[in-house]
Amino acid sequence: MTTKNMAPLIEKEQIDLLERLSNACGILSDVGEIRKIVLESIKPYCDDVHVDALGNVLAIRKAQQPDALRVMVAAHMDEVGFMVIEKEEGGLFRMLAVGGIDSRYLPGKPVLAGKDHIPGVIGAKPIHLMKKDEMKNTMELEDLRLDVGPDGGDKVKPGDPVYFATKFQQVGPSLMGKALDDRLGVASLISLIQHTPANIELLAAFTVQEEIGLRGARVAAYAFNPDLAIVMDSTPSYDLPTWDGSENIYYNTKLDAGPAIYVADTGTLSDPRLLQHLFKVASENNIPYQIRQPGKGGTDAGSIHRQRAGIPSVSISVPGRYAHSPVMISRFNDWKNTLTLVHTALAEMPKNILQRN
Amino acid sequence: MKELIRSLVETTGPSGYEMQVTELVKQLIKGTADEIKVDALGNLIARKGTLKKGGKRIMLSAHMDEIGLIATHVDENGFIRFTSNGGVFPVYLLGSRVRFLNGIEGVIGSESDSRDQAPAMNKCYIDVGAKDRESCPVKVGDMAIFVRPFVDLGARLVSKALDDRVGVAVLVETMKQLKDTPHELYCVFSVQEEVGCRGAMTAAYAVDAELGIALDVTRTGDTPKCTKMEVALGKGPAIKVRDSGMLSDPKVVRWMQETAEKEGIPYQLEILDAGSTDARMMQVSRAGMPAGVISIPCRYVHSPSEMVDYQDVLDSVKLLKALLSNPIDF
């Protein structure tokens, strides 16, 4: 790699930033904690920053040369969590899932409720009292309660958000924490703003409401109306052995195999010109990558590419195990290579990339 | 028109990768349009005519893409697992042949030896004759289409991708035959219809028309013991009243019916339970527009052997040409 295109490094400062972002809490458009970190990190570097009507942070960093490509890069600030919907007696509350959550993950998990992060637990019957038949059944969210104790009961009310209480940690090659989907993308996008390649106009969108239907990205793309878009997200990795020892053919992505590039998912067919550029940049710069198995799932690209007269788009994710659970495990190296790939792809993006033969 | 249809269906263009069809259509419509461009997502948009008294800005849309498959995994023995690109029915998979964009062909097999039931898609694989993963010429993310030759049965035509290359053919032929129109026509050869009418959505935004007409196929109810439907091959173009994505504008339906009757063109009315077309995106684009569809009746839709009636195709051209030749008074 040449120095002129040197990608931003991930050092202690960036890890600390990821830790703060992962520990911060925010669902839907209620992402004030994350937005505050984003704004303080990017403001000195941007030519324009504003928070739009839905709560997206839209930041512009102009190019150092005329007639530059206007490239939107998006990462979502919201995480999956819950909303309190009904108060019962003794500090117990019923909850609703916000975003896709597997209720089998939930019993016994520590959580935080409301703006003041009132500590609580998602309660369930202990094994001592469980009958054999009951243990075979999945406990649905409607059978579970948020328990914040009698003292906490007065401090929580319907409509309050509830978050997993996991604290971020770096363990050897791994990053473990809640909401790495998509705080990894948020941290990467902050780095890109701080080290924007001179040849492109960066239109950075830190979006809201991704987990409930890619809603923030929709209005962000309409507002920016960019030439093209790159979405930085997190994607599940199910790269575990199969129980019968046969070859695992449905892993989605694999840890340590590099950034996951999307060809097709439920919402988007990635633009072939952008794909070819990414493959070329990765191989010329010896950046490892993998193709996310085409199939279900989606990113903000699903909204972005359909706006206005169409916006060529592609997504690149950091793979992570146990997505949408209280803790995800990703690899430092996959994150580093993702940031390097996107930065290098931007720095080496030919101005005529969208030209058709 | 048979050669036109043959050239279109024999071209490869899965959703998102319609470029070969785009190039062919560009050649086919040469000299018939005032302006041609390809937009950000790949829609080919040809403008024809300028507004005259009683004329409208009209968007016409026929989609270039066809359904296909995408490789999701190459196993250690060189077998390729896949998912669908557009609505592929598992029942048509077993024994089908496919071709990847790099020209490699393969056959579809399944895990189970039982041939009594159609296997689920995730139990099927593509065999391109590779010995192992390393030597397999296909990689994850590669796109494939179904291979099946065009067959001329005289009155009827059979091929893969008649959905919607026959619509493309109708639009191309109409552009050629239409010498005089009071309208400003935006003939859109759209992309990514089979994955959710995505191309038409952005093209409709760009064109910002006053009236939208899609040209697509619709299923029929004229085969043994099939689900009932009041559309049959050979009874003329179907004027869509509704499908699961839209209600055609009643004014448009009436206009199409009256024009067909005046011109002595046979037609049928279409009410489709499941499925939709580009028109659903046009109807709700920007501030909205009246929209309708001329459907070409088609048996075995989304199979590798779709069948249309040749006279229906000719009559669809006749109807579209008549519709576009005169001023519109609604």
Q: Report yes or no: B43 at the A interface, CB cutoff 8 Å.
A: yes
CA-CA distances (angstroms) from residue A256 to A20, A320, A326? Answer: 24, 10, 21
Confidence of residue A357 (pLDDT cuts 50, 70, 90): low
Cα separation, A329 vs A332, in Å, equals 10
Domains annotated on chain B, with CATH: 2-66+160-325 (3.40.630.10), 68-146 (2.40.30.40)
Domain boundary among A164, A190, A215: A164
pLDDT tens-digit series, residues B105-164: 999 999 987 778 889 999 999 999 999 999 999 999 999 999 999 999 999 999 999 999
**Residue of A270, A295, A354 with shortest CB distance to B83:** A295
Domain membership of residue A160 (yes or no) is yes
pLDDT at B155: 98
Domain membership of residue A124 (yes or no) is yes
pLDDT at A339: 98
Poorest-confidence range of A131-145, B189-203, B316-330?
A131-145
pLDDT at A1: 36
Per-residue pLDDT at A4 exceeds 80: no
Per-residue pLDDT at A3 exceeds 50: no
Per-residue pLDDT at A2 exceeds 90: no
**What's the domain count of chain A?**
2
DSSP A175-236: EEES-HHHHHHHHHHHHHHHT--TTEEEEEEEES--TTTSHHHHHHHHHH--SEEEEEEEEE
Q: What is the mean pLDDT of chain B?
A: 97
Interchain pair B206, A269: CB under 8 A? no
Per-residue pLDDT at A133 exceeds 90: no
pLDDT tens-digit series, residues A254-275: 999 999 999 999 999 999 999 9
Do residues A228 and A354 make contact, with C-beta atoms less than 8 angstroms apart?
A: yes
pLDDT tens-digit series, residues A10-61: 999 999 999 999 999 999 999 999 999 999 999 999 999 999 999 999 999 9
Domain membership of residue A352 (yes or no) is no
Per-residue pLDDT at B198 exceeds 80: yes
Domain membership of residue A191 (yes or no) is yes
A231 plus A99 within the same structural domain = no
Distance (Å) from the C-alpha of residue B197 to the closest C-alpha of chain A? 10
Which one-letter amino acid corresponds to residue A307?
Answer: Q
Torsion of CA B268, B289, B168, B316, to 10 degrees: 30
Cα separation, A345 vs B69, in Å, equals 28
**Residue of B17, B38, B40 with shortest CB distance to A272:** B17
Poorest-confidence range of A152-156, A319-323, B237-241, B317-321?
A152-156
A241 plus A303 within the same structural domain = yes
What is the mean predicted confidence (pLDDT) over A176-205?
97
Cα separation, B189 vs A306, in Å, equals 17
A220 plus A278 within the same structural domain = yes
pLDDT at B234: 98
Per-residue pLDDT at B239 exceeds 80: yes
Which one-letter amino acid corresponds to residue A177?
Answer: G
For the annotated catalytic residues of A, the residue numbers are: 210
CATH code where residue A150 lies: 2.40.30.40
A210 plus A142 within the same structural domain = no
Q: Report yes or no: B287 at the A interface, CB cutoff 8 Å.
A: no
What residues of A are in the B interface, CB distance below 8 Å? 247, 249-250, 263-264, 269-272, 275, 291, 293-295, 305-312, 354, 356
Q: ipTM score here? A: 0.94
Instruction: Name the residue range of residue A109's domain.
Output: 81-164
A155 plus A182 within the same structural domain = no
CA-CA distances (angstroms) from residue B137 to A281, A291, B77? Answer: 22, 16, 13
pLDDT tens-digit series, residues B168-190: 999 999 999 999 999 999 999 99
CATH code where residue A9 lies: 3.40.630.10
Per-residue pLDDT at B281 exceeds 70: yes
Interchain pair B198, A291: CB under 8 A? no
Which one-letter amino acid corresponds to residue A200?
Answer: I
Give the best residue of B198, B281, B285 to mutate against chain A (max A CB count within 10 A).
Answer: B198
A109 plus A226 within the same structural domain = no
Chain A residues near residue B195 by CB distance under 8 angstroms? 269
pLDDT at A215: 97
What tokens were used for B150?
């065009």
For the annotated catalytic residues of B, the residue numbers are: 193
Domain membership of residue A170 (yes or no) is no
